[in-house]
Amino acid sequence: MNGRCSDCGADADPLAICACGGLPEFALGPVRLDPAGLRRVVRERRISYEPLFASGVWRWQELLPAIDRSAIVSLGEGNVPLYPSAAGARYAGVDRLAYLHLGMNPTGSFKDLGMTVAISAAKASGARAVVCASTGNTASSMAAYAARAGLDAYAIVPRGRVSDAKLAQMREYGAQLIEIDGSFDDAFNNLQLVEGAAVVNSVNAYRIEGQKCAAFAILEARGWSVPDWVVLPGGNLGNISALAKGFREAKQLGLIEKLPRLALVRAARGVDTEASAIAVGAPRSLNRAHQALRDFDGVQLRIGDDAILAAKAQIGREGIGCEPASAASLAGIRALRQAQGDTGGQRDTIAPDADVVAVLTGHILKDARGHAA
């Protein structure tokens, strides 16, 4: 797989911002398997005794950048449930709803899918240290995978705005914490405080490669039937970029024949939202998120904290639970169905008979505040 700029298409180093300011990404190389063969191989790996294939990311290795096997660091990420939810469907006002619960990953968030690839690539390249700016989940995932890889980890976080559980994870896994007065954006603008460390934020193209496997997980769990909508919360907008890449590649490979529509749900209160995980003011992947919304006939909406916390309570009542940011998905579906949402009049964007997947990005124990039942 080769690197290219996601904005101008020029050849690019997968770890470097392009001269045009665009972010690097990998271009899918030739895949020798036909769609049926690829599905079969991945399914066989799921039940094999090969430790690497206990990972729901590395089972897709043909579609990932080649990394020397001895450098791969996995915690068995990517095996997450797709929970059908009749109660959630009623709450949101659609016929069919399921939650892809990426909070059921080793460190409790979707970040593990990307981090296994980014940390493995850093290790393969001979890096000694990694760094990220984070609202908490990226940093706790980085800390765990870096510890497994024997790399030093530096987490730059906004002081007073990261949940205790996430800080506890970072400390437990031995990361160095650098607290910045300000927001996530200020933390991001201070990445250069740590010299010589590989940046593992989602501007690192390896992260996107791992996270794109969430699209494959949705499709595989549904027997390769494409939902009408996939709805997810947005912060720095790496995840929508990754999901879009996964679905595009699934179509390109003939695994599916059409794309789902995408709905991106961001916090109306921006950097001041209670959903601290998505408290981002200036998302770094804005251009590629806009591209995804164009390609997937998508919509974007801002949702208030009250609606987020009410949706979180609903997911909790179902015995599932998630962190506040994740509940933005369900709140967003409900708003897109309602006459009077805070959606700026996008009434009935999602049809009542829609078949919808809501992506839950983080586990309930990640951020235990914000209960509104």
Residues that bind ligand F0G in the complex, under the rule CB under 6 A? 109, 134-138, 202, 233-239, 277-278, 280, 323, 325-326, 361-362
- Distance in Å, CB of 124 to ligand F0G, minimum: 24
Which of 231, 239, 243 is CA-nearest to residue 329? 231
- Distance in Å, CB of 112 to ligand F0G, minimum: 11
State the virtual CA torsion across 143, 181, 235, 82 in degrees, nearest 10: 40
In the bound state with ligand F0G, the residue whose beta carbon lies nearer, of 71 and 189, is 189
In the bound state with ligand F0G, the residue whose beta carbon lies nearer, of 54 and 175, is 175
In the bound state with ligand F0G, the residue whose beta carbon lies nearer, of 85 and 134, is 134
- Distance in Å, CB of 202 to ligand F0G, minimum: 6
Residue 301: phi, psi to the nearest 5? -140, 160
Residue 188 burial by Cβ neighbours in a 10 Å radius (0-12, 13-18, 19+): buried
- Distance in Å, CB of 224 to ligand F0G, minimum: 25
For residue 336, what are its two tokens? Answer: 């897109």
Beta strand segments in 134-249, E: 152-158, 176-180, 198-199, 229-233
The per-residue DSSP string of 342-362 comes to: SSSS-TT-S-TT-EEEEEE-B
Count other C-beta atoms under 10 Å from residue 2's C-beta.
11
Three-class DSSP category at 122: helix
In the bound state with ligand F0G, the residue whose beta carbon lies nearer, of 12 and 203, is 203
Three-state SS annotation for 5-27: ECCCCCECCCCCCCCCCCCEEEE
- Distance in Å, CB of 280 to ligand F0G, minimum: 6
In the bound state with ligand F0G, the residue whose beta carbon lies nearer, of 113 and 336, is 113
Which of 38, 361, 308 is CA-nearest to residue 202? 361
- Distance in Å, CB of 351 to ligand F0G, minimum: 25
In the bound state with ligand F0G, the residue whose beta carbon lies nearer, of 92 and 237, is 237
For residue 186, what are its two tokens? Answer: 């200020």
Alpha-carbon distance 267 to 273, whole Å?
Answer: 6
Beta bridge partners of 178: 156
- Distance in Å, CB of 30 to ligand F0G, minimum: 29
Angle 213-221/238-252 helices, nearest 10 degrees? Answer: 60
In the bound state with ligand F0G, the residue whose beta carbon lies nearer, of 134 and 349, is 134
In the bound state with ligand F0G, the residue whose beta carbon lies nearer, of 92 and 102, is 102
In the bound state with ligand F0G, the residue whose beta carbon lies nearer, of 54 and 359, is 359
Alpha-carbon distance 303 to 246, whole Å?
Answer: 26
- Distance in Å, CB of 292 to ligand F0G, minimum: 11
Order of strands, sheet of 198-199, starting from the edge strand that comes earlier in the sequence: 176-180, 152-158, 129-133, 198-199
- Distance in Å, CB of 186 to ligand F0G, minimum: 13
